[in-house]
Amino acid sequence: MFDYDAELRFYRERFRAACAVQAGDRVLDVGCGCGQTTRDAASDAVRGSVLGVDVSERMLEYARGRASERVSYLLADAATYDFGGAFDLVISRFGVMFFEDLIGAFGNLRRALRPGGRLALLVWQPRAENEWARVVPEVLGGEFRDESPFALGDQAVTRQILTTAGFEEPTFTAVREPIYYGPDPEAAYENVLRLREPQALLDELGTVAAQRARDALRATLADHETDDGVLFGAAAWLVHTRRN
Ligand SMILES: C[S@@+](CC[C@H](N)C(=O)[O-])C[C@H]1O[C@@H](n2cnc3c(N)ncnc32)[C@H](O)[C@@H]1O
């Protein structure tokens, strides 16, 4: 399985600080994946609790295997599940861009919050600002078709979605930290090929073209090797708002 925690290592503490979880908070972590942010929130909510929700049983299984105190997990679609209205804080690290009906889904997350409850998100800025999302498909001679990771990249669009869904005017803080693909080019190569879209692009190529693309990918990953591992430029927004 692709290791998001490693990929997002430079975002971890920024997001944790932005969430500013209080000791007694009841927190909902949306699209919690393997649960790193869920566990971080629980470490801060020392008298509270954290519920991680995800649609992927596989990721939740991994998360449950690393259970920690005050954490529980739920397999459900966060866009529609009735969470009740008791949460103080809804958080998500790159887990809220995939909803088909963004306004409807954020309306549902608003209903999960008590009046005045907070929403703290980390979402990708547009593809053009994210080297990882431009360079890898370019090198493989194609384009990634899934635009959903960037669905909340435009501030005006996101502001409109959130305010229509019943949140206060959001604030946006830019975070420009690299993403990490591995300690060296060979590990990075294996990791990138675990991602769905690069693999799909290679599958579409004939044998010779696929070999050429693999060689080009290896060369590009070698070009991005630094003392901190293989890094690509990336940019995200920390979005913060409250339930009206
Ligand atoms: C890019 S991953 C981020 C995972 C995790 N937040 C992290 O930072 O490691 C996006 C996650 O959102 C989950 N997801 C997508 N749509 C969802 C939905 N409608 N309800 C709940 N989870 C969803 C996916 O299964 C995936 O685990």
Which tens digits make up the pLDDT trace of 56-70? 999 999 999 997 899
Report the number of distinct structural domains present in the chain: 1
Q: What share of the chain has pLDDT > 90, as a percent?
A: 89
Residue 186 above 90 pLDDT?
A: yes
Assigned domain for 187 exists: no
Ligand 1: centre distance to CA 98 (Å): 8
Assigned domain for 195 exists: no
Is the CB of 6 within 6 Å of ligand 1?
Answer: no
Mean pLDDT across 13-29: 98
Q: What is the DSSP letter of 1?
A: -
Task: Tell me what the pLDDT averaged over the chain comes to.
Answer: 96
Q: Which residues contact 95 (CB under 8 A, 6 or more apart)?
A: 29, 30, 31, 32, 33, 54, 78
pLDDT in tens, 138-154: 999 888 778 999 999 99
Residue 3 above 90 pLDDT?
A: no
The dihedral region occupied by 71, where left means phi > 0, alpha psi between -120 and 50, and beta the remainder, is beta
Residue 242: both structure tokens together: 């409250």
Ligand 1: centre distance to CA 32 (Å): 6
Domain that holds residue 34: 4-128+147-180+233-242
Is the CB of 29 within 6 Å of ligand 1?
Answer: no
47-84 b/e (C-beta count within 10 Å ≥ 16 → b): ebbbbbbbeeeebbeebeeeeeebbebeeeebbeeebe
CATH number reported for the structural domain that contains residue 63 in this entry: 3.40.50.150
Residue 235 above 90 pLDDT?
A: yes
Question: In this structure, are residues 111 and 167 in contact, taking their beta carbons and an 8 Å threshold?
Answer: no
pLDDT at residue 196, as a whole number:
87
Protein residue with its CA nearest to atom 14 in ligand 1: 31
pLDDT at residue 142, as a whole number:
82
Confidence bin at 2 (pLDDT 50/70/90): confident
Assigned domain for 206 exists: no
Residue 160 above 90 pLDDT?
A: yes
Q: What share of the chain has pLDDT > 70, as a percent?
A: 100
Residue 43: both structure tokens together: 């470490």
Is the CB of 33 within 6 Å of ligand 1?
Answer: yes
pLDDT in tens, 192-207: 999 988 998 999 888 9
Sign of the four-CA dihedral 134, 30, 90, 52: negative
Please state whether beta strands 225-226 and 229-232 pair in parallel, antiparallel, or not at all (unpaired). Answer: antiparallel
Assigned domain for 207 exists: no
pLDDT at residue 68, as a whole number:
85
Question: In this structure, are residues 150 and 202 in contact, taking their beta carbons and an 8 Å threshold?
Answer: no
Residue 120 above 90 pLDDT?
A: yes
Assigned domain for 190 exists: no
pLDDT at residue 127, as a whole number:
94
